[in-house]
Chain A
């Protein structure tokens, strides 16, 4: 039992981080992806906040999956997610106020992140609490990775910095992350919306190319065997 759950968790992690990545495979949550990835720090903060909501919402949905009938499940999940995000928003405003000033605008946006309802529908309704929470964590981390990556590329090309103001988000101990490339003014276009679409497009193309190459190699091996 524990072994099957263990191998299951490995599969869940791989799905969330790569195979079923929210941004690069499912192409969900494009709105926050475009809006917050103007810097690596913003992407990281938004990703972590979304991960927290995703883990709790998946666990709660999984807990109530036998009580909720399929006819009214969508409104119930929407109410649940909206309540959760509002509570997170208020708690951050009260106790993590400095972080809230950086991310405040985006926290409320988590409600409309279709990835959250998407995971509730696609995974949590059909699976146990532990597996659902793990799925939320994996999907959230995959989302965080994608947002941070896109943010870093856009920030690097657009402003010539890396992780600017990271110490605001993670505390002064992380100031070493902040890199400034001297003598590079930055290409403003990359910070503006077109830059977001361009970077995402290149990354998507890169992932596809990599996957098709891997597939071709696997096919070759089967052919010769």
Chain B
């Protein structure tokens, strides 16, 4: 029996499919183990770059990537929230964490740094799917709007003024896009409230 006729037999098909599935899984697990370390390193570098974006230069002398704290966030059903702590000489000087708020198109991910006293050090939008040209002005690359949060705290502006101008607040909205800046303002305000609530927990523990 030659190969051409054997190839048409019913028994050949499952063996062929099985062999290919096996080869594919082998290739995938090899590739995964070969790239795993490099991917983890690249992602750690990304995180470090992002954290350095919101923290002023020379603010911390510790490896804040490793100095983390998991705090259950009551507002989001007790989901753990990772807090990175920036120290100088052992004392916690600030905290960096992410907040997520629903934007116009999808969730907006915000990374923010707060100093020990509860003042905002810096805010950046990490991820969003807002309308290009309208809502994407929350990116620093498109507009300096996001820097307007620097130095703000829960009491400054007053609680009633924590909103976009359309809602009687102090922050600008964009022409044609109110939902996006409103969501970012809400995220930052929520982050400050979260920090105020867990301040002792974040500051207290010494390593």
Contact = CB atoms under 8 A, between A and B. Distances in A.
Interface of A: 38, 67-69, 71-72, 75-76, 79-80, 82-83, 86-87, 90-91, 93-95, 97, 101, 158-159, 186, 188, 191-192
B133 A69 contact: no
Nearest to A95: B38
Given A80-B24, A186-B133, A188-B132, A90 B17 contact: no
B178 to A, nearest CB: 17
Given A86-B31, A159-B133, 20 more contacts: A67-B7, A69-B12, A69-B13, A75-B17, A76-B16, A80-B20, A82-B24, A83-B24, A90-B31, A90-B35, A90-B39, A93-B35, A94-B35, A97-B45, A101-B46, A158-B133, A186-B133, A188-B132, A188-B133, A192-B131
27 contacts: A68-B16, A69-B16, A71-B13, A76-B17, A79-B20, A79-B24, A80-B24, A82-B24, A83-B27, A86-B28, A86-B31, A87-B28, A90-B31, A90-B32, A90-B39, A93-B35, A94-B35, A94-B39, A97-B42, A97-B45, A97-B46, A159-B133, A186-B133, A188-B133, A188-B134, A191-B132, A192-B132
Interface of B: 7-8, 12-13, 16-17, 20-21, 24, 27-28, 31-32, 34-35, 38-39, 42, 45-46, 131-134
A101 B34 CA distance: 20
A97 B17 CA distance: 34
A83 B28 CA distance: 7
Contact of B38 (A67, A87, A94, A186): A94
Contact of B132 (A38, A91, A93, A97): A38
Nearest to A187: B133
Nearest to B6: A69
Contacts of A97: 42, 45-46
B132 A67 contact: no
B16 A67 contact: yes
Nearest to B21: A79
A172 B51 CA distance: 24
Chain B contact surface mostly: helix
Contact of A93 (B21, B42, B45): B42
Contacts of A87: 27-28, 31
Contact of A94 (B16, B17, B21, B42): B42
Given A80-B24, A94-B42, A72 B35 contact: no
A69 B10 CA distance: 10
Contacts of A71: 8, 13
B89 to A, nearest CB: 33
B20 A76 contact: yes
Nearest to A82: B24
A95 B36 CA distance: 11
A187 to B, nearest CB: 10
3 smallest beta-carbon distances between A and B, as pairs: A94-B38, A94-B35, A97-B42
Contacts of A68: 16
Most buried by B among A90, A93, A186, A192: A90
Contacts of A94: 34-35, 38-39, 42
A191 B32 contact: no
Contacts of B8: 69, 71
B175 to A, nearest CB: 11
A83 B16 CA distance: 16
A87 B28 CA distance: 7
Contacts of B132: 38, 188, 191-192
